[in-house]
Amino acid sequence: MRTRPLKVALLGCGVVGSEVARIMTTHADDLAARIGAPVELAGVAVRRPSKVREGIDPALVTTDATALVKRGDIDVVVEVIGGIEPARGLITTAFEHGASVVSANKALLAQDGAALHAVAEEHGRDLYYEAAVAGAIPLIRPLRESLAGDKVNRVLGIVNGTTNFILDKMDSTGAGYQEALDEATALGYAEADPTADVEGFDAAAKAAILAGIAFHTRVRFDDVYREGMAEVTAADFRSAKEMGCTIKLLAICERAADGGSVTARVHPAMIPLSHPLASVRGAYNAVFVESDAAGQLMFYGPGAGGSPTASAVLGDLVAVCRNRLNGATGPGESAYAALTVSSMGEVVTRYHISLDVADKPGVLAQVATVFAEHGVSIDTVRQQGRPDGDGEASLVVVTHRASDASLSGTVEALRKLDTVRGVASIMRVEGE
């Protein structure tokens, strides 16, 4: 074993960063044995140096992150500060000064991953980011390495624990959206401002990363269709149960049937109770991968939190340090396929549409005619009058597979019927 330690700079010492530092200290001997050399925490960049950080030597703490990554003797920079800047500049500077980088920064990687990979390659350094997508769940490395000889066709998953907790609570207790969100906030699963989670921004960044790796194509955050879950209601869950389904906020990355394009999207969807993702409860994550040779694979586990995310960071740290000792680098960006990223209008799936209609003869025929005129085939229809006898009824239509564009045209035409009082909800049905 080499006795000279590999030096690590830690950028950020919050929930994840402090756990990374703790594991590096308490598991130092095991890490050294696995790597083949000791690892030394050489500096910790923070915004508030006066804060007491248990187990970290105050002499290592600095507010000058740029000076830390420019030192020249740093082997690996671990970036867990998040956001676009200053993280992007610090990572680039680290590469330029000879360090490899381990990051958990999904937003930055989804926006500028290609540029960062290019700088890493230019300087012969590694960029690893297992922790950016699903916490402790090993997912990026299996896609990038274990399935490198296979053809991945679809990645379908729950990649945000906060939203899964909220939807699971609505499903199991009948609670409304706001009530479930309030509970998630009280328990610490949701931030004070939950927008990034419930509006799908977090999941969309992860979908961009997954699609890029799975399909060997550059997919950026702006390429991902995103739809939040604030409009999901208890009534939607009742409808889902009548169909033998539940509702999840899904990240879906798909290769087109002809293999020439891909799509990436995030939105709420009904999935059959028989699908493995339907049983994912609480704040857990799970990702379902479908490929030609391996078939169907499912990755499941805690997707957030200090310890799970730190586990993924340390796994990358060990891999990068091993590469460093061997004078090698691991897999970089693979975008050779350069497939077209299609718009949401071209996506084909099933739909569940709930309409408020006049309770009188002929309404169903009118509605069915509109669907037929737009080339959307109906699978099932259910109409139920209102017990209060107000002259209106609920009409639920479940379609066969249709494109998003054709469904949009159908709904626009339905709104023009004087017998249709309103469109109560529209939800995609996935996981067949």
186 vs 169: CA distance, rounded Å: 13
Closest CA to 269 of 177, 156, 412: 156
110 vs 339: CA distance, rounded Å: 17
Tell me the C-alpha to C-alpha distance, in Å, between residue 269 and each of 132, 201, 241, 346. 24, 16, 13, 17
- Helices assigned H by DSSP within 161-305: 161-173, 177-186, 195-198, 201-215, 234-242
Q: Are strands 261-272 and 340-341 parallel, antiparallel or unpaired?
A: parallel
Tokens at residue 137, please? Answer: 């769940």
301: left (phi over 0), alpha (psi -120 to 50) or beta: left
Q: Is the dihedral of CA 102, 83, 255, 300 positive or negative?
A: positive
Tokens at residue 386, please? Answer: 């209102």
Beta carbons within 10 angstroms of residue 185's beta carbon: 16
Burial of 362 per CB tally in 10 Å (0-12, 13-18, 19+): exposed
If you search the block for the tokens 């740029």, which residue do you land on? Answer: 66
Q: List the catalytic residue out of 7, 106, 206, 248.
A: 206
Please confirm, yes or no, whether 206 is among the known catalytic residues: yes
Residues taking part in catalysis: 206
